[in-house]
Amino acid sequence: MGLAGVLVGGALSFRQQHKPLWTQISFYVLAGMSLLAAYLLTLPGN
């Protein structure tokens, strides 16, 4: 979950620097995937 926070912070930083939109979107997508992975790792295994 910490990685997701860093990625969202990077996306916000790119937004302030007026970088291309695709870089911001890619950071948000990676942050979402990081949150999904963190959630899946907390599920009890069989």
Q: What is the pLDDT along the chain (46 residues), one digit of tens a residue?
A: 889 999 999 999 999 999 999 999 999 999 999 999 999 999 887 5
The alpha carbon torsion through 30, 36, 41, 43 (nearest 10 deg) reads 180
Closest listed residue to residue 24, CA positions, set 4, 35, 10, 34: 10
